[in-house]
């Protein structure tokens, strides 16, 4: 080929970001994106019924990881932050709402007095949390450990079950007792290695407040029309990329002269480089003949099934405007894991009056998608009436089914992925991996990994 050709497999945020990076790096190259579904965006999907914004997947971008916001700005989008008047969330425990105690960082209590004053924990649970000040280290510099094991050792079961697990495993929809600390919250290990006490380490590493700096900027961002606006703007920026939907890929195999072949049901693309930006279980199928060891490793990554239910309520409601929602510990007997007060958390412009909620379903060990749409709707109405009995019935409700939505980062995950990527460089150096299963599930992580995959191709 006189002109270089690159093929990206997968049209989620990872694949679209890879196309953007390829175009910037190879302005004259032919770039083809192949997406099996009938739309771009993957798990990102936004329902804009009646002018409201209901997210079916993630609802925000973490600002402290700048890659996603920088890319959004490059394609002409200006992010909006969370409502500054809504700070923190509740824990729904024993049929009551409890404030998350001040000073809790990523599920870790750093303000002992605030924890003592909180009614969330029993006195024995509060006493057990104080053991962190005295316990020796449990981590080893060169070993991974389950996040739950680490937190239970340092703070006890109550802190884990009532604070840490709802806050942390909610991000990954996973089992905190199997979750890799190295892959999810490596700074916990760094704090213990450096300071021994996690509480003391978190205090000492907390950025000092700047006098007269005003309120802290929002940690999270979205866009006026929701995250679908991100997908739309990024897709529009790729006007000279051949974007194809309804085009599933069968396999990726080596070709002559160090090239690679991407095989679909009707066509074979010979490419100078390929970015595979699909979920791990699909990547394993594509690589089975090309790189058996890599396929086995990525194919072993498990996923959580999720359901997200968005609802709009007319008129006034009992939902507070100063909180972003609530989290539900496993032992409460609800299948709901969390609820976002969308209309309190985000002030989307030009949205009609009303109360908007978003409930999450899906825990490790539970398959919520065995329920049909009607059953999920009935479950939501029943549980929301139990939690917020004066809320009434929704004027509009949307069920988003998300099969195999979030990869599970179990102990040793990053080491296995690192070995797989290194092996793929040997087996097929013109193929690179991107996606949320590699080394980060958030949107900024996906953008960063996509750029790294493009750099790997050279």
C-alpha dihedral, 186 to 187 to 188 to 191, nearest 10°: 140
In a domain, 61, yes or no: no
pLDDT at 170 over 80: no
Q: Could you give the percent of the chain with pLDDT greater than 90?
A: 78
E strand intervals along 209-301 = 220-222, 242-244, 249-254, 260-264, 268-271, 273-276
Domain range for residue 348?
A: 305-406
In a domain, 93, yes or no: no
> What is the pLDDT, as a whole number, of residue 349?
93
Q: Is the pTM of this model over 0.85?
A: yes
In a domain, 131, yes or no: yes
Under the banding of pLDDT at 50, 70 and 90, the label for residue 253 is: very high
Q: Are residues 152 and 30 in the same domain?
A: no
Mean pLDDT of the region 258-273: 94
Q: Could you give the percent of the chain with pLDDT greater than 70?
A: 97
CATH number assigned to the domain comprising residue 118: 1.10.3110.10
> What is the pLDDT, as a whole number, of residue 271?
96
H-state helical runs in 160-223:
170-172, 181-184, 186-195, 198-205
Cα–Cα dist 317/306, whole Å: 27
Token pair, residue 408, equals 């599970």
Mean pLDDT of the region 411-432: 95
pLDDT at 378 over 90: yes
Cα–Cα dist 164/10, whole Å: 34
| DSSP codes, 403-430 | EEEEE--BTTHHHHHHHHHHHHHHH-TT
Q: Which of 166, 190, 205 is the last residue of a domain?
A: 205
Q: Give the model confidence (pLDDT) of 338-348 as tens digits.
A: 999 999 999 99
Q: Are residues 379 and 423 in the same domain?
A: no
> What is the pLDDT, as a whole number, of residue 70?
97
CATH number assigned to the domain comprising residue 385: 3.90.660.20
Mean pLDDT of the region 182-196: 93
Domain count, the chain: 3
In a domain, 221, yes or no: no
Q: Are residues 134 and 195 in the same domain?
A: yes
Range in 13-17, 55-59, 170-174, 353-357 the model is least confident about = 170-174
Q: In the beta sheet, which residues pair with residue 309? A: 359, 399
pLDDT at 369 over 80: yes
Q: Are residues 117 and 157 in the same domain?
A: yes
Cα–Cα dist 99/275, whole Å: 44
Q: Are residues 321 and 387 in the same domain?
A: yes
């Amino acid at each position: 080929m006189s002109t270089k050709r690159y093929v990206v497999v997968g049209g989620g945020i990872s694949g679209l970001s890879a196309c953007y990076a390829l175009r910037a790096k190879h302005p004259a190259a032919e770039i083809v994106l192949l997406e099996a579904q009938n739309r771009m965006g993957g798990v990102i999907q936004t329902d804009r019924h009646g002018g409201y914004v209901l997210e079916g997947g993630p609802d925000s971008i973490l600002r402290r990881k700048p890659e996603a916001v920088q890319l959004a700005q490059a394609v002409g989008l200006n992010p909006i932050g969370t409502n500054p008047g809504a700070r923190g969330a509740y824990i729904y425990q024993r049929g009551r709402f409890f404030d998350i105690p001040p000073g809790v960082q990523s599920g870790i209590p750093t303000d002992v007095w605030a924890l003592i004053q909180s009614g969330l924990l029993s006195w024995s649970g509060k006493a057990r949390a104080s053991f962190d000040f005295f316990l020796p280290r449990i981590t080893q510099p060169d070993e991974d450990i389950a996040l739950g094991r680490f937190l239970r050792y340092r703070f006890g079961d109550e802190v884990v079950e009532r604070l840490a697990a709802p806050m942390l495993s909610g991000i990954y929809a996973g089992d905190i007792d199997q979750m890799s600390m190295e892959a999810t919250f490596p700074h916990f290990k760094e704090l213990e290695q450096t300071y021994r006490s996690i509480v003391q380490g978190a205090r000492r590493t907390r950025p000092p407040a700047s006098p007269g700096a005003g309120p802290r900027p929002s940690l999270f961002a979205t866009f006026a029309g929701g995250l679908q606006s991100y997908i739309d703007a990024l897709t529009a920026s790729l006007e000279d990329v051949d974007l194809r939907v309804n085009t599933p890929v069968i396999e990726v195999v080596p070709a002559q002269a160090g090239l690679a072949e991407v095989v679909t049901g009707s066509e074979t693309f010979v490419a100078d480089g390929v970015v595979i930006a699909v979920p791990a279980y699909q990547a394993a199928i594509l690589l089975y003949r090309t790189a058996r060891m890599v396929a086995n490793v990525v194919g072993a990554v498990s996923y959580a099934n999720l359901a997200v239910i968005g609802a709009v309520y007319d008129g006034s409601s009992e939902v507070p405007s100063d909180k972003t929602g609530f989290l539900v510990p496993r032992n409460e007997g609800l299948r709901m894991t969390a609820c976002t007060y969308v209309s309190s958390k985000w002030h989307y412009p030009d949205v009609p009056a009303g109360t908007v909620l978003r409930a999450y379903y899906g825990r490790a060990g539970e398959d919520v998608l065995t329920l049909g749409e009607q059953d999920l709707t009935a479950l939501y109405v029943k549980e929301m009436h139990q939690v917020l009995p004066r809320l009434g019935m929704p004027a509009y409700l949307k069920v988003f089914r998300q099969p195999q939505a979030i990869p599970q980062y179990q102990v040793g995950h990053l080491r296995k992925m690192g070995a797989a990527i290194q092996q793929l460089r040997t087996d097929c150096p013109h193929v690179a991996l991107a996606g949320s299963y590699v080394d980060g599930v958030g949107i900024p992580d996906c953008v960063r990994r996509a750029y790294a995959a493009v750099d790997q191709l050279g």
